[in-house]
Structure 1
């Protein structure tokens, strides 16, 4: 079954006929019909593929530092089996079990956001994480990244739902965050190995973000933000949708305000969400870990930022005190350890 689902998934963009066959295969009350639809789908996939190219693709999966799970397996996230148009295959790196063991709250918003929006996303995610709730987002710039960092700072878990293949990092500047999530949380995607960040991928990705969560929080979504697509999916899936209000004079959060006007819950205090989901799901709050010792690289960077705060990342990279990757990794760890914070324009400031 795993091989069949991999072949179907490899077809890429779905059309109406493929979606109908997949729906019949998954939902038909008769086994005969389910088997017939599966054979049709596999036949379509094999006609569509180059056998030699698929063989190379399959080797990459076998040799990759990641795993995959298909919808027929018990390990497949139960929440996603219930949504319309579920993924047949999920590629992942990290701890898949966290999706079934703890309540999950998604935090989404715009890439272009204010410092206020970043801070709210960070603080809310950190509080949820400390309360034993897994934070889900899409690893984009802005609100998504702030939510992931906040969750890691809270010493809890976070899930990044990707709009690319599992072997890609998008955006590339989030490589340090990507690596931290793979070690301490979960990276997950339905897109096959080698798939680039195509515009079509992200709206499809959003249905998985909403499908995995128990509730969705929207922060600073513009009127055309993809976060509103995620909110639509969440409502269709019967999930609770919360929206953090924004000022009416700016452009950052008009989509969030519109959601509230349309009936989304106005969220002013993250304690409201924690009371509902942590208690209802018996989540165990995580004890605050002892202060983590800092590496020499982290100490050097912290001294520089403390002396010149705020400091643009280009200036830190040009100091020649260490390699570029080492600097980026150390900056990410300082963010996670709550020693510094990031202002718009890639400027790092000391946390007082």
Structure 2
């Protein structure tokens, strides 16, 4: 099933990425509009009435135009059937059916990466310590994954750029409609410094509420570890933490703050995750080094397992 067929399915009302995978299992080879039409009438999808041929044709043409125009502008569309689709996405319970990228595609495969995320209203303490953390991660060979949101995400990307670390921004909107608007210049800087922008939404798509949670799962999926700078209990960062737990990724929370910050709402999520033993406590440079060591050990063990599988 090629990307044109997959995008055609995704453009149809009521068809989710899960539906696309269901169709693919029964019809792995679909390469034209007639085969799409036949598959839609053969596969039982709940609450979806099989469409008319003219409607399928119109969606096929729409998908063709989207792919042609976006690829002409430097955006790549990568479906799950492509060898370029990263294993880190294949391994999660709810993988994308396809996604769009702009920039340095090598960052999806050949770099150790750390998701550095947090609240949209960070404390001033992060101005002091945030850059030190990013600088350390860069020195240890990590690229920085975040979500381009205002606050901690912005700091993570900006500190990465300042220290010449590679960075990946995973968006809750389309790549041609960067959200938030205030960070469009930052997105341009990421691209100019050979970073990467990634989204599973159509290039012109707006950021809807549910898409933030979906974006959070991809942050945890792509990264080898997750480091929370600050988060309150209601922040979307807690979704990323939950996905890290589900995906078996190591999670750490920063709590090296001076005592005057300990009652701030921005630390409530950090402290709860540590109390529940779901996150490693980063309370010193030594603790940060230990967390990095553990993530690197996980990466090496995973590579060894993959090499053994290839050998047999």
- Fold match by TM threshold 0.5: yes
Which of 176, 192, 195 matches 1:185? 195
Match of 1:73, SS state, is coil
Answer yes or no: is the 8 Å Cα contact 1:158–1:185 preserved in 2: yes
Deviates more, 1:56-65 or 1:218-227: 56-65
Equivalent residue number for residue 336 of structure 1: none
Tell me, which stretches of 5 or more residues in structure 1 are unaligned? 283-352
Whether the 8 Å contact between 1:113 and 1:142 is mirrored in structure 2 is yes
CA shift, 1:176, in A, is: 2.3
Gapped runs of 5+ residues in structure 2?
A: 301-312
Task: Pick one of 247, 253, 257 that aligns with 1:243.
Answer: 253
Aligned positions, number:
275
Query: Which residue of 2 is the match for residue 267 of structure 1?
Result: 282
Structure 1 residue 49: Cα displacement:
8.7
Instruction: Tell me the TM-score normalized by structure 2.
Output: 0.78
TM-aligned CA distance change 1:89 to 1:119, over 3 Å? farther
Tell me how far 1:63 sits from its aligned partner.
Answer: 2.7
- Corresponding position of 2:180: 171
Q: Aligned partners of 1:80 and 1:5: how far apart in 2?
A: 16
> What SS is found at the alignment partner of 1:134?
strand
Task: Give the root-mean-square deviation of aligned CA atoms.
Answer: 2.9
Report what 1:218 is aligned to. 228
Please tell me whether residue 195 in structure 1 is matched to residue 205 in structure 2: yes
Distance, in Å, in 2 between the alignment partners of 1:173 and 1:195 is 17
**1-structure distance, mates of 2:299, 2:239:** 27
Distance in structure 2 (CA, Å) of the matches to 1:105 and 1:44:
43
* Residues 242 and 265, structure 1, Cα contact 8 Å, conserved in 2: yes
Describe the shift of the 1:59–1:33 C-alpha distance in structure 2 as closer, same or farther (beyond 3 A): closer
User: Cα distance, 1:60 vs. partner?
Assistant: 2.8
Q: Is the 8 A contact 1:221 1:256 kept in 2?
A: yes
104-113 or 93-102, which deviates more: 93-102
The aligned residue for residue 303 of structure 2 is none
Q: CA deviation at 1:25?
A: 5.0
Query: Relative to 1, partners in 2 of residues 1:81 and 1:58: Cα closer, same or farther, differing over 3 Å?
Result: same
Q: Distance in 1 between matches of 2:292 and 2:223?
A: 14
Q: Which residue among 256, 267, 277 is the counterpart of 2:270?
A: 256
